[in-house]
Amino acid sequence: MAVHAHPDDESSKGAASMARYVAEGVNVLVVTCTGGERGDVLNPRLKDDPNIAANIHAVRRAEMDAARAILGVDQAWLGFVDSGLPEGDPLPPLPEGCFALQDVATAARPLVKLMREFRPHVVTTYDEDGGYPHPDHIQCHRISVEAFEAAGDPDRYPEVGEPWQPLKLYYNQTFSKARISALHEAMIERGLQSPYEGWIERWGDRPERQITTRVPCADYFEVRDKALLAHATQIDPDGPWFGVPMDVQRAAWPTEDYELARSLVDTTLPEDDLFTGVQETVGV
């Protein structure tokens, strides 16, 4: 189970890993917390289309359907309203009723229900900083941790199904400084213009998260990119997301990376598989 804040997040964080596991016969469910209604139209070709602005909720759902089909995953909506990304100084208040303002225990209830119905062994989501400090990403982290801890407890949320305890919880760490630096240096070595020069300059003293698990999935990078392009309003097809040739990506950084946050099974770090220790415990 991969828990994400908005439609498109699943395609930019862990998509190649999911596609690999689907190909290996694993059942994968993407949980999307909000409808992405307040996301900006980032594709310059669509930015001024009045039909998109008037029907953004339906557009984002259709994009999610297309990406889901490309990845081969199942997908469920939690039904919360996008909080938007507040900008300015001072920051404006979040809109009333949005996802980030929900009580964590209340917002986690539908996720607990999904965990008990789908019965995942592994859950992925964001770290406590949200990967970046979007209020919906931070709230996604909070309810994911709450649901992971509560789903197996018969005394918590007894109204939403029989208890089920997931065995491992991971945080996506796709955008580590190590990965960005490796891709940047590979481009420079080949005499190509790197789309990441600005990223490196802005990194500053921000601490690195621990990467415990690197999942080899380079064979599925093209599937990942197709799924991301399916979110046409959210991605510029000529932008930096696609500025590194596929052969360079596969050579410089052929994995998607995670931080193991909780484990109820024995494992040895570092790992190369999200299911390390799970097979031995449950016999799959």
Which residues participate in the annotated binding site for Zn(2+)? 6, 9, 137
Do 3 and 131 touch, CB atoms closer than 8 A? no
What end-to-end distance do the CA atoms of the chain give, in Å? 16
Dihedral sign, Cα of residue 155, residue 156, residue 162, residue 163:
negative
Q: Give CA–CA dist 64/8, Å, rounded.
A: 7
Tell me 156's DSSP state: S
* Residue 191, phi-psi category: left (phi > 0), alpha (psi -120 to 50), beta (remainder): left
**Residues of each annotated binding site:** 6, 9, 137
Q: Give CA–CA dist 241/238, Å, rounded.
A: 8
Do 10 and 174 touch, CB atoms closer than 8 A? no
Residue 114's nearest CA partner among 57, 30, 34 is 30
H runs (alpha helix) in the chain: 9-12, 15-23, 50-54, 56-71, 104-118, 135-150, 177-189, 197-203, 221-230, 246-252, 278-282
Do 5 and 34 touch, CB atoms closer than 8 A? yes
Cα–chain center distance at 74: 14
Q: Give CA–CA dist 64/210, Å, rounded.
A: 30
